[in-house]
Structure 1
Amino acid sequence: MAGSQVVPQPQTDIATILFGAFDRHNFGDLLFPHVVAAMLDDRKPVFAGLVDADLRRFGGHAIRAIGPLAAACGERRVNLIHVGGEILTCGAWHAAVMLLPLRDAHVVVARLDPRPEEALEWAQRRLGTRALAPYCVPQNLFPAARLIYNAVGGTGFRECDEALRTEVLANLRAADVVGVRDRETLAQLGAAGITARLVPDPAVMVAALFGERIARHARVGEIAQIRAAFPQGYLAVQFSADFGADATLDAIAAGLERSARSSGHGVVLFRAGAAPWHDDTACYARLAARLPATPLRIVESLDIWDICALIAASRGYCGSSLHGRIVAMAFALPRVNLLHPSAGERPGKQAAFAATWEPPEVRATVALEDLADGIGDALNAEPQQLRQIARELVERYRKEFDATRQRLE
């Protein structure tokens, strides 16, 4: 028709790559690509990590190694989204060890941990990259990519080696969008000249996006059995292997015993991560031996949807995992994080996230000697306030992700 304008059609063959540390078993990292993929609606993303891996048996994804994937993409235009997590401070050595089977990790750490230069060389050979912070993709790996950082963390960034900091900052400067999940990371990047958006962690969306899926997991299998075993309710409890010292376990046991006695709730222990340096069932067995009179179960399942269901069906969450806390937040449940005895004055990622998104009256962390009181404070939180926090986080994440989505090709 004369005078009509030709409207350009959007290019539809641009691949979207979701990249992150979901190539190993860690609860939060395995949730991120589910959330981002769901928020992308009709796109069919490629899931990528540092190595080829198949985490589908745990509710995760089949994952392609980023190096060969980059070689296959060549000069093609792609969208590459870093899906989240504390990736700004994750060095090559830690990344490579966490991708090993647990037995192999113990051998490698014993051999190389005292020799950091050799450790770094080993890690870079194993990962096939010279990167110091391999979960942050450099622009030259995907020359035509639109690079997105989605609600990432780096609360300990100022304490990292200068070489790693320099590399990460260069990668962030080359990105199209940088979103961080807490004000501590935001401030540190801002001081280094990086402009970033403040975005809640993707896991705040699990109830809104996957509520029915999680409810199905609560009705069957091990989670259904646990719910039946604790008609009076239970506290979902978790802590990482570095809480395994005898004195630390004694303090945790004393706090949980007192809490169970006063509240009438049982204790259910679960693992939020099975990768090296994460959670250890041997620690849980040692804790259970200290609580002979407390109703207690140890969950075997490592399926992320079972873990979500366990938390969602609980009276509240207590543990060291940030994402145990965030899933409890998503379901408007009481929560409190354990403070490791060695933490000192450093605000960990748990405290940083809570300080960013929760009001002061919702307790962030508790020292082990105050564990029972901390759990009691959490359980006494105002339910309406917890529901309001959950709603506001969903609204904020949707708004921020919509703005990010506008930047995609």
Structure 2
Amino acid sequence: MKSIGRMNDAEQKKKIIFYGAYDRYNYGDNLMPIIFQFYIEKYHPLLLNDYKIEYCAIGNSDLSRYTCFKTTKIAHLLDSTPDDSLLIVIGGEVLCATNLTLLTHMQNTRFSHAIVKAGKYLLRRHLNVLTNKIYGTRWEFPYVPPKSAFKNRIKLAFNTVGGGISGLSVKNETDVKNRLKSADYISVRDKRTQQNLKSTINAALYPDSVFLISELVSSDFLNKEIKESIKNVKDKPYLCFQASPHKVGADETEVVEALIQIAKIRKEKVVLLPIGYASGHDDLQYLKKIEKRLDGEGLLLQKLNVWEIMYIIKNAKLFIGTSLHGIITAMAFNVPHFGLNPNIFKVNSFLQDWSIFPFNRSLRLEQIVSASSEDFSFYGQELQANSVKLGELVKENNSNIVKLCQ
């Protein structure tokens, strides 16, 4: 993986710290900071003479087997981060995830996840205390860090984040608003989030930072990072299907029957692609069941690194899924795409804000079956033009953040 040596530069340098949910394996969460680093290396390489890039999360982690960077526990950086360093929160629905919610996503088995999730409702107060000691941060809502937690003076930016602050208690809402107001820059990825913050927080609206993959991740780079067996998948045309069981909005029988219909209509094989591996997402367990019921009509891919996931989506003829960053990857590479289930608001909202017709809203499964007979090659130029336009907006947003280092 390129530029990993930069992580060992001299300690006296100021730091650009990427902070997010990088201590668990979820494609989008892990990819966002990597693409921002690639952006810096291409457009602001001289910045690295004065700054060292570091990845941090709530906990220490090593996901290098998935070609992700190791993370440092943020608690270990509070006293050691030099003056004038820049902390960039790059993540998905970071507003306002709690320590306890994030702990449930860290459980390594479905059984342990279920135990913690049950306890979350039965013993919430006691679990909150325990969570803050063993996993969480010193502050609640860990991805909205208070500048005052750092010993030295830092700058703070939020890069195309999602979520909101509605539903918090008056005390917590006031606390979170004060932290956000202290930030030097905030951008959000959809109008839904912007409207949620609008009354008191000035947040710029930009598309997700991952859109730059079509410019920053070359075919040569991808080919070096993927297994030969993954390259062979594209020998025959395929549609790519991804889903979380908690978000699909249909039962297994409906999903299987729909995939068989779509594959027959389009004369394409079905590739089942898990993207969400963190507990609470459970793509892999769900898609195993779908593969079994497809009875040889579907190919399930497992244990893919971030570049292999990207490669599979890039080369698909159609992407269908519940994953926002699966959708974003398809959009970046001009792949026709359907968000599955209109009730997944973050996906539906993002599509409405940034995609093109007829892909600019999430659909129910039966609607996707009906739409799949269309010749999507007609939209190729529009998809490409939209990808270029969104990439330029991302560069504008990234530039706004990098200026904080000057």
Q: Same fold (TM over 0.5)?
A: yes
Deviations 1:327-347 (A, max 9, x none): 00110110111117xx3xxx6
> 2:246 is matched with which residue?
242
In structure 1, runs of 5+ residues without a counterpart are 1-11
In structure 2, the residue matched to 1:66 is: 74
Q: Report if aligned partners of 1:19, 1:47 keep a CA contact under 8 Å in 2.
A: yes
Aligned counterparts of 1:214 and 1:94: Cα–Cα separation in 2:
36
1:131 shift after superposition: 2.4
Return closer, same or farther for 1:324/1:378 CA change in 2, 3 Å cut-off.
farther
CA–CA separation in structure 1 for the residues paired with 2:130 and 2:372: 43
Q: Does the 8 A contact of 1:30 with 1:60 survive in 2?
A: yes
Pairing 1:221-260 to 2, within 5 Å after superposition = 221-228=228-235, 231=236, 233-243=237-247, 248-260=251-263
Post-superposition offset of 1:271: 1.2
Aligned to 2:350: 353
Task: Please give the alpha-carbon distance, in whole angstroms, between the structure 1 residues aligned to 2:31 and 2:220.
Answer: 13
Q: TM-score, normalization: structure 2?
A: 0.88
Tell me the SS of whatever aligns to 2:86.
strand
Structure 2 vs 1, CA of residues 321 and 163 (structure 1 numbering), >3 Å: closer, same or farther? Answer: farther
The whole-number CA distance in structure 1 between the counterparts of 2:172 and 2:66 is 32
- Report the residue type matching 1:397 in the other structure: V
Deviation at 1:118, TM superposition (A): 2.4
- Conserved? CA contact 1:236–1:267, under 8 Å: yes
Identify the residue that residue 96 of structure 1 maps to in structure 2: 103
The SS at the match of 1:406 is helix
> Deviation of residue 210 (structure 1)?
0.9
Q: 2:219, 2:233 → 1: CA distance?
A: 19
Unaligned residue ranges in structure 2 (runs of 5+): 1-11
* Contact 2:191–2:205, Cα closer than 8 Å, also in 1: yes
- Contact 2:338-2:368 at 8 Å conserved across structures: no
1:284 aligned to 2:287? Answer: yes
**TM alignment of 1:7-406, pairs within 5 A:** 13-41=13-41, 42=45, 43=48, 44-73=52-81, 76-102=83-109, 103-142=111-150, 143-154=152-163, 157-160=165-168, 162-191=170-199, 193-213=200-220, 215-216=222-223, 220-228=227-235, 231=236, 233-243=237-247, 248-292=251-295, 295-339=297-341, 343=343, 348-376=345-373, 379=376, 382-406=379-403
- Asked if 2 retains the 8 angstrom alpha-carbon contact of 1:86 and 1:152, the reply is yes
Q: Distance in 2 between matches of 1:372 and 1:13?
A: 55
How far is the alpha carbon of 1:220 from its aligned partner?
Answer: 3.9
Residues 187 and 298 (structure 1 numbering): CA distance in 2 closer, same or farther, change over 3 Å? same
173-182 or 33-42, larger mean C-alpha shift: 33-42
Matched AA of 1:236: C
CA–CA separation in structure 1 for the residues paired with 2:282 and 2:376:
24
Quote how far apart the aligned CAs of 1:163 are. 4.8
Q: CA deviation at 1:160?
A: 4.7
2:404 to 384, 390, 407: 407
- The alpha-carbon distance between structure 1 residues 361 and 281, as it changes in their structure 2 partners (threshold 3 A), is closer
Q: Distance in 1 between matches of 2:341 and 2:351?
A: 13
For 1:109 and 1:140, the matched residues in 2 are separated by: 31
Whether the 8 Å CA contact 1:79–1:145 is kept in 2: the answer is: yes
Measure, in 2, the Cα distance between the counterparts of 1:365 and 1:24.
27
CA distances 1:5-62 after superposition (whole Å, capped 9, x unpaired) = xxxxxxx932111111111111101111111112222323011000000111111111
Q: CA deviation at 1:98?
A: 1.4
C-alpha distance in 1 between matches for 2:376 and 2:171? 44
Q: Among the aligned pairs, what percent are the same residue? A: 25
Gap change, CA 1:24 and 1:92, over 3 Å in 2:
same
RMSD of aligned C-alpha atoms? Answer: 2.3
Aligned to 1:4: none
Equivalent residues of 2:23, 2:63 under 8 A apart: yes
User: How far apart in 2 are the matches of 1:366 and 1:244?
Assistant: 11
Whole-Å separation in 2 of the counterparts to 1:52 and 1:326: 28
1:251–1:25: structure 2 CA closer, same or farther, 3 Å change rule? same
How many Å separate the matches in 1 of 2:387 and 2:300?
A: 28
Q: 1:125–1:218: structure 2 CA closer, same or farther, 3 Å change rule?
A: closer
Task: State the SS of the aligned residue for 2:77.
Answer: helix
Aligned mates of 2:169, 2:330 — CA distance in 1? 34
Aligned pair count reads 385
Aligned in 2, Cα 1:379/1:214: closer, same or farther, shift over 3 Å? farther
Q: 1:82 to 1:219 in 2, by over 3 A?
A: closer
Shift of 1:76: 2.8
Q: Is the 8 A contact 1:255 1:370 kept in 2?
A: no
Aligned partners of 1:217 and 1:305 also within 8 Å: no
Partner of 1:8: none
CA contact (8 A) 1:137 1:171 kept: yes
Q: Give the CA deviation at 1:129.
A: 2.6
What code does the residue aligned with 2:311 have? Answer: A
Deviations 1:286-317 (A, max 9, x none): 21233226x31000133000000011111121
- C-alpha displacement at 1:104, in angstroms? 3.1
What's the secondary structure of 2:207's corresponding residue? coil
